[in-house]
Structure 1
Amino acid sequence: MRRVIVATPSCPAELPLLATCWTIAGDVLPTAVSPQSPFPLERRLQAAAQAGFRGIGLWYGDLLQQSQLKGGLNSLRRQLDSLGFEAIELESLVNWFGEGDARQASNAHRALFLQAAAELGARHLKIIPPMPGSTVNTAALVDAFGELCEEARAVGLRIAMEMMPMSTLPTLADNLAIVEAAGASNGGLLVDIWHVQRSGFGAMQGLARLPTTALMAVELNDAMAKPGPELFQATLNDRLPCGEGEFDVTGFIRALWQAGYRGPMGVEILSPRFRALEPEAAAHLSHDSSAAALAACA
């Protein structure tokens, strides 16, 4: 059965929080060849639930490992249900538009994500846009996005393409153009405050004008106003809990509320400080700081 958040929030303070996988993963980087948390998945799930998160993010490596255990993904589904998680995020699919060996590897990940969506009742799958060096053209990208959305629709899954300023689609407008051209009702944007803030002057001002139907997922965090010299490294290392940096987090939340977004607010904090934390400490700090930001918008 598809897992959904039943209650309709009446103000931003009531939006549910979702712990993205890297926030509570410990000493592991998404860029590792085969990233695996040093902490068991069960411990991370319990830490997130005990901290108050109502949603959880699951990485491909966790899904693969769980699918190979006795009980498979059905056992994981029972655990998620017992902990009360209402929204499940799957992370993340790359090269969904590619060719050759890269596409073959992507298709294997895609198959497991779709299986997991069906068995776990996942809400959305995060996908990564093309990075510099990609030769995919706009028409092919639109077709690939539409095809992925069609496959996802069959298992009740949303597709959320993350706007990233270091990609070949560096602005909200660039990403929105792909989404609107594909015309899939279950396909849209993942809007992370870090990437919006780093994408240039005026990006924050455009949030409230985004079509509600294009908003599939959101991520909160904070950082200092000026990033490091290399954006890709900065996004992995300079994120802070909400309220500890210089981003206008409450303005970001209010703008998305004005745009009509009523889904879960993901919390994604990547930094050496967070990678050194036990899951319980990371979960409580990330949840409580983000909940305070939501409460400030009431």
Structure 2
Amino acid sequence: MNRPLSLAHLTVLELPPPQVVETAAAAGYTHAGIRLLPSSPGGLAYPLMDDPALLRETRRRLDDTGVRLFDLEIVRLGADFDVRAYQRFCEVGAELGAHTILVGGDDPEPARLAQSFAALCELARPFGLHPSIEFMPWTAVPDVASALRLVVDAGRPAHAGILVDALHWARSDSPLPQVAALPRELLHYAQVCDAPAQVPSTVEGLIHTARCERLLPGEGGIDLPALLSVLPPELPLSVEIPHHVRAPQAGALGWARQARDATLRLLG
């Protein structure tokens, strides 16, 4: 299996970064992701920017296991976004060998949002990091067309990307031909999971499923084979499957293994 598989931090968010790396290695992943900043105010995250000891230990585990760091989470582009606040974030990413920054778009003003995304791409470029905007149906970038428009409005920065998350693809107005038409250079990775076919009718329901009750590939109603058929066959996959009941029951390593095994079955 040559396709890179990354253990998303959200799948085992209770683990601090060194243990995420060790769990990824033990479960057979090639890469791992780390959440340095919370997805919402008060959310769980591990700010290695402010913890030199934890940063050193994370780097040591990467070196010892051979697991590579894929993505850093999560930079949210709100109305008050100030790119200067993310210098150390990018420095840590480069120090750990990260490839991609996961970005959420929250600013309802399109021109300002595009300026913020362009500024983040410019900041990240010397560090070899690729900011990838993740479209999510409850944000200011709700679908794949909005994500592409943002990248274009930002001037098509060389390191920019668009992240296709299977859950958000299935629950947004993102027709498969639009995904298939995305330029290859904008695709740095995709996120894989499954979910019930019934789409929640409220924003709260959408967010709850995304953060708390995703299913293993093959257990739900998302047409994952159709999505993967239009993505590059070598595209790295981040396995992002949080479940607040089943994951604790299985234990972090057990759940990470179940998620990887289900993903491999999906890939055939």
Q: How far has the Cα of 1:158 moved from its partner?
A: 0.4
- Under a length normalisation based on structure 2, what TM-score does the superposition of the two structures give? 0.87
**Equivalent residue number for residue 150 of structure 1:** 122
- What is the aligned counterpart of 1:59 among 35, 44, 49? 35
| Distance (Å, rounded) in 2 between the aligned partners of 1:98 and 1:162 | 17
Instruction: Give the Cα–Cα distance (whole angstroms) in 2 for the partners of residues 74 and 42 of structure 1.
Output: 9
2:48 is equivalent to residue 50 of structure 1: no
Give the AA of the match of 2:212: N
Deviations 1:200-226 (A, max 9, x none): 3x6234221111112132100011111
Of structures 1 and 2, the one with the larger relative CO (CA 8 A, separation 6+) is 1
Of 105, 130, 140 in structure 2, the residue corresponding to residue 129 of structure 1 is 105
2:238 is aligned to: 266
Q: Is the 8 A contact 1:92 1:127 kept in 2?
A: yes
State the distance in 1 between where 2:113 and 2:99 align: 23
Conserved 8 A contact 1:17-1:53:
yes
Q: 1:251 and 1:126 mapped to 2: Cα distance?
A: 24
Aligned counterpart, 1:189: 162
Q: 2:63 aligns with which of 81, 97, 103?
A: 81
Give 1:272-291 correspondences, 5 Å limit.
272-276=244-248, 277-291=250-264
> Residue 7 of structure 2 corresponds to which residue in structure 1?
19
RMSD, matched Cα: 2.2
Shift of 1:116: 1.1
Give, in angstroms, the shift of residue 67 of structure 1: 4.8
Query: Residue 133 of structure 2: which of 144, 158, 161 is its match?
Result: 161
In the aligned structure 2, how far is the partner of 1:24 from the partner of 1:279? 6
1:245 has 2:220 as partner: yes
Return the alpha-carbon distance in structure 2 between the equivalents of residues 140 and 67 of structure 1: 29
State the distance in 1 between where 2:134 and 2:234 align.
Answer: 18
- Distance (Å, rounded) in 2 between the aligned partners of 1:195 and 1:271: 16
Q: Cα 1:65–1:274, aligned 2, differ >3 Å: closer, same or farther? A: farther
Contact 1:74/1:120 (8 A) holds in 2? no
Q: 1:237 offset after TM fit, Å?
A: 3.0
Q: Structure 2, unaligned stretches of length 5 or more?
A: 38-44
In structure 1, C-alpha distance between the alignment counterparts of 2:19 and 2:210, rounded to whole Å: 26
Shift of the 66–153 alpha-carbon distance from structure 1 to 2, 3 Å rule, reads closer
Structural mapping, 1:190-269, within 5 Å: 190-200=163-173, 203-230=175-202, 231-257=206-232, 262-269=234-241
TM (normalized to structure 1)?
0.79
The one-letter code of the counterpart of 2:5 is L
User: Counterpart of 1:3?
Assistant: none
Describe the shift of the 1:47–1:75 C-alpha distance in structure 2 as closer, same or farther (beyond 3 A): closer
Quote the residue 2:92 is aligned against: 116
Amino acid at match of 2:34: L
What percent of counterpart residues are identical?
Answer: 28
**SS, match of residue 14 in structure 1:** coil
Contact 1:55–1:264 (8 Å) recurs in 2: no
Q: In the alignment, which of 168, 175, 200 is matched to residue 147 of structure 2?
A: 175
Superposition deviation, residue 291 in structure 1? 1.3
Instruction: After TM superposition, give the deviation of residue 81 of structure 1 in Å.
Output: 2.2
Moved more, 114-123 or 223-232: 223-232
Secondary structure of 1:118's aligned partner: helix
Cross-structure match for 1:91: 73
Name the structure 2 match of 1:9. Answer: none
Letter of the 1:114 partner, please give it: C
